[in-house]
Amino acid sequence: MLSDIHLGTVGSHALELLQYLDSIDPKVVILNGDFVDVWNFRKYYWPDSHMMVLRSLLTMMTNGTDIYYLTGNHNEVLRKVSNLQLGPLFIRDKLVLDLKGEKVWIFHGDVFDVTMKHSKWIAKIGGKGYDLLILLNKAINAIMEKMERGKISLSKKIKDSVKKAVRFIEDFETTAMDLAIDQGYDYVICGHIHQPKIRGYENEKGSVIYMNSGDWIENLTALEYDGDEWTMFKYREEDFITDQRIEKIVQLHTYKERVMIG
């Protein structure tokens, strides 16, 4: 399960995602919202690596993998066709699975976002500011790399230090878990807030396991289910050997980024 990939934006780590997709052979892939970022999509920015991610998923479908595309706020236009099925591709707003007698409730999570519901224009402005922050972060990390220093994530530092952001994440998770318990689910899985997590929770009505698949902007994470248990995958560059096909894309992508940065 993957969420918040945001293809079509400068912050999307499509190359790393491509390596991950090439390393797995799943029966089912669930894209839990914001796969392509329609809000911030620009015709002039669609790198080869982003197209290769699409091709990788199409190849999976050709080879028998079912793909569930759950709608998110950055591609909400798809909610007009959220019961569409095209062969092994299913477009849905939410998904309920029965895994060995346990009910799993999956949805993106923007339904809990007050900014989205009442001031969408504010959310879109925030999205553009986020893109600028990612560009600035790339420039800083390019300098840090030359200085042989470790990379940093400005957006994560800001989120972790702003009390309102921390409180929003806590409220988001609690709301999802309380609703899941009320409706009798054993698991609830979201995306949207870019915070990978697996945690248990209980209130006076019962208990539930909450999971969030994270994102491919900052955390580069995915949820995996092997038939018995859920685990969190975290991308690490040293775990992958880049093949020549991807290496060429990496070189081109790096060159374009250096041009953009200055």
Per-block mean pLDDT, blocks of 10 residues, the chain (262 long):
93 93 96 86 81 95 97 79 92 96 94 52 46 60 66 56 58 92 97 94 97 95 96 93 63 51 47
Residues 34/192, Cβ–Cβ less than 8 Å:
yes
pLDDT given at position 10 = 84
Domain 14-261: which CATH number of 3.60.21, 3.40.1350, 3.90.550, 3.30.160: 3.60.21
pLDDT given at position 99 = 96
pLDDT given at position 122 = 39
pLDDT given at position 13 = 92
pTM: 0.76
**How far is Cα 7 from Cα 75, in angstroms, rounded to an integer?**
11
DSSP letter, residue 243:
P
CA–CA distances in Å: residue 230 to residues 144, 153, 209, 227? 35, 27, 10, 8
Q: How many CB atoms lie within 10 A of CB 146?
A: 8
Task: List the domain boundaries for the chain.
Answer: 14-261
Alpha helices by DSSP H, 23-119 = 48-62, 114-118
Residues 109/177, Cβ–Cβ less than 8 Å:
no
